[in-house]
Chain A
Amino acid sequence: MKSKFMNQVHYTLMILPGFVWLILFSIVPMVGIVMAFQDYNPGLGYWQSEWIGLENFKYLFSMSDAWQVMKNTIIIATSKMILNLIVPLTFAILLNEIKSVKYKKVVQTIVYLPHFLSWVILASIIINIFGYNGVVNTVAGVFGAEPRVWMQESSIFRQLVIGTDVWKEFGYNAVIYLAALTGINPNLYEAAAIDGAGRWKSIWHITIPGLIPTIVLLGVLGLGSVLNAGFDQVFNLYNKIVYSTGDILDTWVYRMGLIDLQFSLATTAGLLKSGVSFILIIISYVTAYKVANYRVF
């Protein structure tokens, strides 16, 4: 009993530095959340500013802009989530079919690469590549296509954001699937081959079922980030013309708070986002536990 108690003390001491960190850098700044319920006046500070109840929330919901931004965020985030499951999965299965071990290794090593580069850097390159005089237009020109200004077409921008994100992450995301693939018992394939099953049949009946738990799990885990459409990416890629389809919650909050001086409104939107994410995380936690019997945390 004594040692058990001592363990608890040790454990608490171990956790302490992390908790101090959280308190100092996460919990203390949370005081600012009160701004969401105020007409924040920086000259007066958090406690003297006028309290206006839910006024900011009401105003936020009345803005057509806010709804558009919400829509963009959800579309971009969910598309990314779904494609970031499917594309890496397909890639992993296809890569698994490559016979040459060396080639496989080389491809695998190269496709991780973009994951490690920052959006600051990638955006500067992507803007160049998709520019009017960029490579994409040059190549498209060979096939007779008219040059376009990709980055300014609001009908394309969303796809561009989603596409470049999937491109950046597919190699890296495939890692999990590739690891799961190695876990599938090779005897199964041999047995299938003896039974006369072709390649497609074995992929369909062995590979994919073998990956299902992983897929389900990743899907559920992604639920919490439905409102995270990728600030770094959009912030570095967008421009005024594509606000209608490209502006997401995080960039909108950034501009409201730090450029347009709407401190309270920005906080309100941020708080809403946190609230919704929190609920979604709980849902995914419960689902993962119930469906996959997996405890996320």
Chain B
Amino acid sequence: MIENKTLSSRVFNILNNIIMGILAFSCIYPLWYALSLSLSDKSAANSGLVTIYPIGFTLNSYKEIMGDWKFFNSFWISIQRTVLGTGVTMLVLIMMAYPLAKSKKDYKPRNILMWIVLFCMLFSGGTIPWYITMQKYGLIDNIWGLVLGGSLPVFNLIVMMNFFRNISSDLEEAAVVDGANPWRILFQIIVPVSIPVLATIVLFTSVYHWNEFFQGLVLTTGETNYPLQTYIKQLVVNIQTTNLTKDQIENLSKLSNKSLDAAKVFIAMIPMLIVYPFLQKYFVTGIMLGAVKE
């Protein structure tokens, strides 16, 4: 491209740089804010004095968390859920996406199956029948309830399927000539060339499992079995009750501690902060190839 050094162009460049800077700042600010709040004195945090930097710097909140086994228990449950959930989902999705990526000619029931899958994505009996079912399966307070309960992520299936569909069929044909069966073709040929899309879906799935809070409440019998987001939700977002009794009110006001809450929020963000830069280089190509066909 030829450099274009007119005045307007330079103004544009400067402005553009500034706008991009502001946008980037706005995206990092919540993180920064939670950090500042968590490092601030309890009373400063509670009365809303913290904006940019910590006020009355203290590590008390973090010290307090160190002794909070419930927090770490929830953290551990979330880790388990994310790892198992991602593993199982990936395996199932890979096996499922491959046949569905075939045309109707190669795999006859393909279209019917696809419509059933789609139907399942859209229709549901609602929370209550789902809860009753989960109860009958014995999946209350069970890590597998959290892993499987959310059902099959159909959107991810479609992304993966579209990617598989675009893989050159030459690769496969060569293998078929060699006498490989579909299992070998899938795991030895298709999977290795699909790393970008698989990495992307690993990211999607792990983000989903890490961030999901609602099922955690429905599928468990108490906070010792809550995943992290459910734990934080009950603590931070709203203790919504219309019928507070006097001792509840007393407790609420006595124990409110925004600094401590912010520390928990901050720690809950960390795993995502660690994971996403690693997968970033894949998901750029992954989403692209999965969702959009050239």
Which A residues are closer than 8 A to B by beta carbons? Answer: 6-8, 10-12, 14-15, 17-19, 21-22, 24-33, 35, 91, 94-95, 97-99, 103, 106-107, 109-129, 131-135, 138, 167, 170-171, 175-176, 178-180, 183, 186, 189-190, 193-194, 198-199, 213-214, 217-218, 221, 231-232, 235-236, 253-254, 257-258, 263, 266-267, 270-271, 274, 277-278, 281, 294, 296-297
Smallest Cβ distance from B170 to chain A, in angstroms? 18
**Of A114, A116, A257, most B-chain CB atoms within 10 Å:** A116
- Since A176-B287, A235-B214, A253-B126 are in contact, a sample of 18 more A-B pairs with Cβ atoms closer than 8 Å, ordered by chain A residue number, is A15-B99, A22-B117, A25-B151, A26-B152, A29-B125, A29-B133, A33-B126, A91-B23, A110-B27, A111-B24, A113-B276, A116-B207, A119-B211, A133-B49, A198-B9, A267-B126, A277-B122, A281-B122
- Assess the A22–B151 pair: CB atoms within 8 A: yes
Residues on A with beta carbons closer than 8 Å to the beta carbon of B268: 118, 121
Please measure, in the bound complex, the distance between the C-alpha atom of A129 and the C-alpha atom of B99, giving whole angstroms.
49
The answer to whether A296 and B158 touch (CB under 8 A), given A17-B92, A26-B124, A270-B126, is yes
B95 cross-chain contacts in A, Cβ below 8 A: 14-15, 17-18
Give the docked Cα–Cα distance between A232 and B6 (Å): 48
- B145 closest partner in A (C-beta): A25
Contact residues in B for A122 (Cβ distance below 8 Å): 30
On whether the beta carbons of A278 and B123 are closer than 8 Å, the reply is yes
CB distance B133 to A28 under 8 Å?
yes
How near does chain B come to A142, taking the closest CB pair, in angstroms? Answer: 11
Residues B19 and A94 in contact, CB atoms below 8 Å apart = yes
Give which listed residue, B91, B132, B214, B265, contacts A124 with CB less than 8 A: B265
Cβ of B198 under 8 Å from chain A:
no
In Å, the complex CA distance between A296 and B154 comes to 12
Contacts of A127 in B (CB 8 A): 237
Closest to A294 in B: B293
The residue in chain B whose Cβ has the minimal distance to the Cβ of A280 is B122
Main secondary structure of the interface of A (DSSP, over half): helix
Contact status B27-A179, CB under 8 Å: no
Chain B 251-282 interface mask (CB, 8 Å, partner A; 1/0): 00000001001000100110011011100100
B248 contacts the other chain (Cβ, under 8 Å)?
no
A32 touches B20 (CB 8 A): no
A218 CA to B49 CA in the complex, in Å? 43
Q: How many Å lie between the Cα of A19 and that of B115 in the bound state?
A: 12
- Given the known interface contacts A8-B107, A199-B9, A277-B122, the answer about A257 and B152 at a Cβ–Cβ threshold of 8 Å is no
Given contacts A107-B20, A198-B4, contact A274 B123 (CB under 8 A): yes
| Interface residue stretch chosen among B56-64, B65-73, B79-87, B228-236 | B228-236
Q: Chain B: how many interface residues by the 8 Å CB criterion?
A: 103
Contact status B124-A270, CB under 8 Å:
yes
User: From A266, which residue of chain B is reached at the shortest CB distance?
Assistant: B126
Which of A120, A267, A274 is within 8 Å of B122, CB to CB? A274
B75 close to chain A: CB less than 8 A? no
Chain A nearest Cβ from B245, distance in angstroms:
19
Are the C-beta atoms of A297 and B51 separated by less than 8 Å? no
Separation of A296 and B291 alpha carbons in the complex (Å): 8
CB distance from A39 to the nearest CB of B (A): 15
Selected contact of B181 from candidates A10, A30, A175, A274, CB within 8 Å: A10
Query: CA–CA, A179 to B114, complex, Å?
Result: 28
| Contact indicator B24/A257 (Cβ below 8 Å) | no
Residue of A nearest to B182 (CB): A10
Complex: A127 Cα to B30 Cα, angstroms: 11
Contact between A21 and B106, CB atoms less than 8 A apart: no
B197 contacts partner chain A, Cβ-Cβ < 8 Å: no
Cβ–Cβ contact B236 & A25, under 8 A: no
Residues on A with C-beta less than 8 A from B116 are: 22
**Across-interface contacts of A193 in B (CB, < 8 A):** 1-2, 4
Are A118 and B292 CB-contacts (below 8 A) given A22-B117, A25-B149, A236-B233?
no
Which A residues are in CB contact (< 8 Å) with B128? 32, 35, 257-258, 263, 266-267
Give chain B nearest CB distance to A8 CB in angstroms.
6
Alpha-carbon distance A94/B157, docked complex (angstroms): 32
Give A6 Cβ to nearest chain B Cβ, in Å: 8
Least Cβ–Cβ distance between A213 and chain B, in angstroms? 8
Chain A residues with Cβ under 8 A from B96's Cβ? 14-15, 17-19
Closest chain B residue to A179, Cβ basis: B288
Tell me if B21 is interfacial: C-beta within 8 Å of chain A. yes
Q: Does residue B163 face the partner (Cβ distance < 8 Å to A)? A: no
